Amino acid sequence: MYIESIRLNNFRNYESLEMNFDQGTNILYGDNAQGKTNILEAVYLAGTSKSHKGSKDREMIRFENEESHIRMMVKKGDLSYKIDMEKQSKGSCHQRAADPQGKGAAGGGESGVFFSGGS
């Protein structure tokens, strides 16, 4: 299983971001405080429904907005799956994982490793 793409709307410092990934190794690089860890947090959040930072939902919504949205496409074998997550400032969270035909969750049993620099 690998991540094909991620789309963020009003997530942390991103008003809008669309990013495609290669099947192999992907490297995020750039200056400090540009949002690299926020992308990793969005991936982790979509995969686990929890933030690695232990953040409150309100902290993940871009300043002066009421909701944020994460859409991640993952591929397992020949099938692509869509994971949608919406966080609202009122505290509600909606998450849905489905194959392109809408027939349910994207498998399970996969593992991953998350690295984040210390503060």
Per-residue pLDDT 10s for the chain (119 aa) are 999 999 999 999 999 999 999 999 999 999 999 999 999 999 999 988 888 776 777 888 999 999 999 999 999 999 999 999 998 887 767 777 776 655 555 455 454 544 555 54
DSSP category for residue 89? T
C-alpha span between 92 and 86 (Å, rounded): 8
pTM: 0.78
CA angle 52, 55, 1 (to 5 degrees): 35
The pLDDT value given to residue 110: 52
